[in-house]
Amino acid sequence: MAEEAKTGSGVWETIKTIVYALLIAGVFRTLFFQPFWIPSGSMKQTLLIGDFLFVNKMTYGYSYASCPSLIIPRFGLNIDAEDICGWMKGDNTRIWGGEPERGDVIVFRHPVTGRDYIKRLIGLPGDRIQIRDGQIILNDVAVPQQPDGVFTEIAEPQGPQGLRPRCENGPVGIGGACEKSRSIETLPNGVSYDVLNIGNQGSDNTGIYNVPEGHYFFMGDNRDNSADSRLPQSAGGVGYVPYENLIGRADRIFFSSAGRSMLFFWTWRGDRFFKAVK
């Protein structure tokens, strides 16, 4: 009997340890840093498919979007942030809210689907934005772009989804050099970053966007391969993103995997450990 009681006590202690660990991890992820694995190429070359980073959730304060989502289809898990913290949604405010700065790379919840997106903040509330020949016209002033050579990557399936990169130099066979023109774009506040071009398409010439109060306008750095604020939500884009939908700022890449899984350590990119996101 004593042995059975000891065994039962050990099992109970193990269960408590697991529960406490999950609670601590949940609090840490909700209040401080949320892990994020880059699934697509919309932010190349700033962020590559397979980059693993932590999102700083303290920068902009907290809202319903700060609660973690746990969505793993293969195990039937579909716990959304709104399921836990939906009672906070609706007033477009934040607790201890901080104002994002133009040029920040931000993770946010899609206003319709609730999925996490990562893009660069281009437009602030009240801004007037238009895209002409691939160049941003911000409040009637062109945002300068300086040509900066060519971004080259191998034409091969990338990441767990096996996505193949689009190339400016035409259809490229597997293993070939996939090229995109690269420019350095500099926003009015002095923030500079690389943007890539693949070709001329509809999103290179747009109408005028007037960013509403309490909302933000986002774009991907890989301009011709990004579903962002240039497209309305009804057309599969992001549209204007409410302040309360911001999750946090991407500050630093922890590590980066060029393979199909982040666990394939032999595919980790040696030049991206602890790399700052700019």
Q: Give me the torsion for CA of 22, 27, 28, 33, rounded to 10°.
A: 120
Q: Are 120 and 228 in contact (CB under 8 A)?
A: no
Task: Classify the C-alpha dihedral 183-143-36-27 as positive or negative.
Answer: positive
How many whole angstroms separate alpha carbon 270 and alpha carbon 256? 8
Neighbours of 194 (CB within 10 A): 17
- What are the residues whose beta carbons fall under 8 Å from the beta carbon of 5, sequence distance 6 or more? none
In terms of Cα–Cα distance, which of 163, 198, 36, 182 is closest to 105?
36
Q: Which two structure tokens, joined as six digits, stand for 65?
A: 């979007």
Alpha helix ranges (H) inside the chain: 2-31, 81-85
- Name the residues annotated as catalytic: 42, 119
How many whole angstroms separate alpha carbon 241 and alpha carbon 111? 6
Q: Are 120 and 104 in contact (CB under 8 A)?
A: yes
